[in-house]
Amino acid sequence: MYRQALQGFEKAWGPEHTSTLDIVNNLGLLYANLGRLNKVEKMYQRALQGYEKAITPENLSTYSPALCFATPRIPAKNPETPVKQIVMLLLSPPHRAFRNGAISINWVIGVTGPAHFLFRKEDERFVLVKDSELRLRGVQLGLPRAYYGWLCGDDHEYSAAEEGAILTPEFFEKEVDIGPSL
């Protein structure tokens, strides 16, 4: 249905109109929910590039229906990005990284790149893959255990929403120490 809507919007408004880009972004969200990470990045990058062109980068943060899912600070396509740099970014999320008061997994995936995650169907959530360097070294590099536990999803007694509920802006302000050790 989103693909049909996208075709209609592209025809009516053009491929770079912000309303069309909203549909592109929503299609990316749908792909994320379906676990199709290869398509997610393509949609989010298209939306981000289109918003940047339509709105200008200086004003981009004022119009972002879901731009927390992509971040220009670190190229998600680059699997060589040091995990230390990824952890630093994860520890200082911008205001747009939060949805309904808690950190958004989509923003996290946008920062880390989709190669670090898989969609676990039995509980319908994204979790760090077992051999991800972020999983293997995250706590050592400074990820708080609550954040790390939410990313790993190993405690099956709690849902992603329950685990993530404490990952609020206040948590990052009070509990996260980005000291020189990183």
- Comparing CA positions, the residue from 80, 97, 81, 84 lying closest to residue 171 is 97
**What does the pLDDT look like over 52-74, one tens digit per residue?**
777 655 554 445 444 444 443 34
State pLDDT tens for residues 121-133.
888 889 999 999 9
Shared domain check, 18 and 58: yes
Between strands 125-128 and 98-99, the pairing is unpaired
Cβ proximity of 126 and 93 under 8 Å: no
State if pTM tops 0.85: no
Q: Name the domain boundary from 70, 101, 116.
A: 70
Residues 93 and 180 in one domain: yes
Domain span at residue 52 reads: 1-70
